[in-house]
Amino acid sequence: MSAPDAHAALAPRAMILAAGRGTRLRPLTDVTPKPMIEVAGRPLIAYSLGLLRAHGIRDAVVNTHHLGDRLQAALGDGRAWGVRVHYSHETELLDTGGGIRAAKPLLDALLPPGVDPADAPIVILNGDVVSDVPLRDVVRFHRERRALATFVLRDDPQAAAYGLFGCDDEGRIRRFLGKGAPAKGLVERMFASVHVLDPRMLELMPAGRPFHTMRELYPALFARGERFFGYRYDGPWYAADTPDDLAFTRAALAGAGLPAWMRDLPLPAH
């Protein structure tokens, strides 16, 4: 992967979702925030920060709730990972949508002087996934198609169990988790836990309450004809939702080694 350049930050702001309890990884997550679970010598969330850094994004909002003080103490200002971290703490767990909406003031504050918020898409990453998604290309794809949201999608043998998104030849999503156009003629893939939002999406989100984007807001917007697109991703992808997932991810990274863009980042102090 090439080094970031001055024009790399096609999306000058990003958010990493890191507030969840990690219930399926208990008892480990009773004492360790899920994003801080160690994988190949780095905390899970460091892979998201490293990916942002590799694509020229230097500021990210991280939402916190469960053991949020420990997560913030461990990450600090993000300097060790090359990204300035700004925290959005949730006293009440707000789920994916409520968490993104609550972070809007921080996300708006990340804009460089002179940048119109309407022209600054937002990259959203899950803090418990390791991937090599080409964020610059995804943002470019998103802009070119004037999408309200672009989901990174991938093939997986278990994709149907997670929920499928059906895309036409141009990448527009025509079938959303089993609803919409007939599946025939569409290519169906699963969500890879990375997406890009047009800033208008934040204005469409209800403020001050918990809600889930994929179960509530996004399907409603899709049904009314808003532009959702899927970007195909075929690269490495590892999750840590269950003990088996975590063991697989640790073994895979131990075997394959760290992504190139992580290798120059120091091990965190313990």
Query: Does a structural domain hold residue 5?
Result: no
Would residue 264 count as lying in a domain?
no
Q: What is the DSSP string of 162-220?
A: H--EEE-TTSBEEEETTEES-STT-EEEEEEEEEEE-THHHHHSPSSS---IIIIIHHH
Based on the structure, what is the number of domains in the chain?
Answer: 1
Residue 268 lies in a domain: no
Can you tell me the distance from the alpha carbon of 154 to that of 145, in angstroms, rounded to the nearest whole number?
A: 19
What's the pLDDT score for residue 160? 80
User: The CATH number of the domain where 84 resides is what?
Assistant: 3.90.550.10
What is the token pair recorded at 141? Answer: 């794809």
Q: Under a CB-based contact definition with an 8 Å cutoff, are residues 57 and 139 in contact?
A: no
- State the pLDDT at residue 211: 93
- The contacts of residue 18 (CB under 8 Å, 6+ apart) are 33, 34, 35, 45, 62, 63, 64, 71, 127, 128
What is residue 3's predicted lDDT score, i.e. its pLDDT?
39
Asked whether residue 269 is domain-assigned, the answer is no
Domain contains 187: yes
Per the domain annotation, does 2 fall within a domain?
A: no
Does some domain include residue 54? yes
Distance of CA 130 to CAs 95, 194, 249, 259, Å?
Answer: 21, 10, 8, 9
Structural domain for 36, as ranges: 13-259
CA neighbor of 62 nearest in space, from 75, 44, 79:
75
pLDDT of the residue at 118: 75
pLDDT confidence of residue 173? 96
Q: For residue 39, give the nearest of 264, 227, 265, 248 by alpha carbon.
A: 248
**Tens of pLDDT along the chain (270 residues)?**
333 433 344 557 899 999 988 788 899 888 889 999 988 888 899 999 999 999 989 899 999 998 989 999 988 999 888 899 999 999 998 999 999 999 999 999 888 777 777 778 999 999 999 999 999 999 999 999 999 999 999 998 888 878 899 999 999 999 999 888 887 889 999 999 999 999 999 999 999 899 999 999 999 999 999 999 999 999 999 988 899 989 999 998 887 777 877 777 656 544
The answer to whether residue 242 is domain-embedded is yes
What pLDDT sits at residue 8? 41
